[in-house]
Amino acid sequence: MAKVSLENVTKRFDSTVAVDDVSIDIADGEVMGIVGPSGCGKTTALRLVAGFETATDGTIRYDDEDVTPVPPENRNVGLVFQSYALFNNMSVLGNVTFGPKMHGVGKAERRERARELLELLDIEELADRDPQTLSGGQQQRVGLARALAIEPRILLLDEPMTGLDAKLKQTLRQELGQLLDDLGVTTLYVTHDQEQAMSMCDRIAVMNDGHLEQIGTPAEIYEEPANEFVAGFIGTANLLDATVTDGRISFGFGDVDAPDGLRSSGDVTVLVRPDDIRVGDGEGDAAVEVTNLFYQGEHIQATGTLADGQELTLQLDRSLTNVETGDTLSVGFDPETLHVIRSTK
């Protein structure tokens, strides 16, 4: 295991800048997630760490060793692919013993190591199977066993759960999270699924258009997003235009007390999460005319329009089945749940 550092790393492909001056430190044993939309540069960042791409500028270190020019086969990195990428000309056991074989581990030892990992991942009965006959979940477990078999300094997970069904994804997420905790292996987890990242990672780096937008714990990212992009990408966000004057936040539809310690003033953008908005029929801070309702099982998501024309997304208790589009709901804001994320001036 090792700590990993990306120091001012830039990667250009001709005129395209895929990764732009990104710096990330991953502590020994930490699970770091990189999230962002398609094309944001997260996979390129992972490929730079793996050694498949060489940084145009900047340095990548494992502990204090500069590995920037080192080819992938000499980095001792475990990589789990979105496409599983199993060797279909080998059995499951052949796949798992392949890495140790390339590292010169003796036959008996590598087979024993592989058996232990297959047992750990609860797939020991698949040892002699052809990978093509396995389900997606089983293939992903084999891919993980294969990556761990070389006792990697760092484990890289590239969208490992994409393509699996929702139920399996949930099970695997729990198992994988537990496994990473138990093994204590330094992990870089790349995904576009912010929920997976939030539940599995110690810290998350949010990337957009090659830039690193914010890095922090899941709670920090969710509660205190650095900008509109992060606020919008992580969870559902209401971003409302407002003005701060004398400890009050003035929206177009009314005034609300500002959170304690707010130092901004003037025109701002305020983030408020749907689950932080009180919804009721009585007195509130504003009235919302419901325009759409989406039943989502555990709750109902409603969108509506405030008096000043701004849109607001609400999370309704699923017992509120009598709410219909066109109804007016009163909503209340708790000052401590309002987060001023940037001044508009």
State the number of binding residues for another protein (CB under 8 A): 28
Minimum distance from CB of 83 to another protein (Å)?
Answer: 5
Contact set for another protein, span 80-119 (CB under 8 A): 81, 83-89, 98-99, 102-103
Instruction: Give the nearer residue to another protein in terms of CB position, either 151 or 267.
Output: 151
Among positions 10, 56, 68, 76, the unique one binding another protein when judged by CB under 8 A = 76
Contact at 8 Å (CB) between 206 and 212? Answer: yes
For residues 48 and 26, give the distance between their C-alpha atoms in angstroms, rounded to a whole number.
14
Q: Using the rule CB under 8 A, is 62 a contact of another protein?
A: no
DSSP secondary structure letter of residue 76:
-
Q: Using the rule CB under 8 A, is 79 a contact of another protein?
A: yes
Contact set for another protein, span 8-27 (CB under 8 A): none
Strand order through the sheet with 57-62: 16-26, 4-13, 57-62, 65-66
Residue corresponding to tokens 């940037």: 342
Q: Using the rule CB under 8 A, is 146 a contact of another protein?
A: yes
Q: What is the dihedral angle through the alpha carbons of 324, 330, 335, 338, rounded to the nearest 10 degrees? A: 30
Q: Using the rule CB under 8 A, is 51 a contact of another protein?
A: yes
Angle between the N-to-C axes of helices 136-148 and 166-183, in degrees from 0 to 180, rounded to the nearest 10: 20
Q: Using the rule CB under 8 A, is 184 a contact of another protein?
A: no
Q: Using the rule CB under 8 A, is 319 a contact of another protein?
A: no
Instruction: Give the nearer residue to another protein in terms of CB position, either 4 or 302.
Output: 4
Minimum distance from CB of 53 to another protein (Å)?
Answer: 11
Burial bucket for residue 122 (CB in 10 Å: 0-12, 13-18, 19+): exposed
Minimum distance from CB of 85 to another protein (Å)?
Answer: 4
Angle between the N-to-C axes of helices 136-148 and 92-102, in degrees from 0 to 180, rounded to the nearest 10: 20
Q: Using the rule CB under 8 A, is 75 a contact of another protein?
A: yes
Quick one: which of 50, 28, 291, 29 has its CA closest to 158? 50
Burial bucket for residue 185 (CB in 10 Å: 0-12, 13-18, 19+): buried
Pick the stretch among 62-70, 72-80, 216-224, 321-329 that binds another protein (CB under 8 A). Answer: 72-80
Minimum distance from CB of 198 to another protein (Å)?
Answer: 27
Residues near another protein (CB under 8 A): 50-52, 71-73, 75-79, 81, 83-89, 98-99, 102-103, 130, 143, 146-147, 150
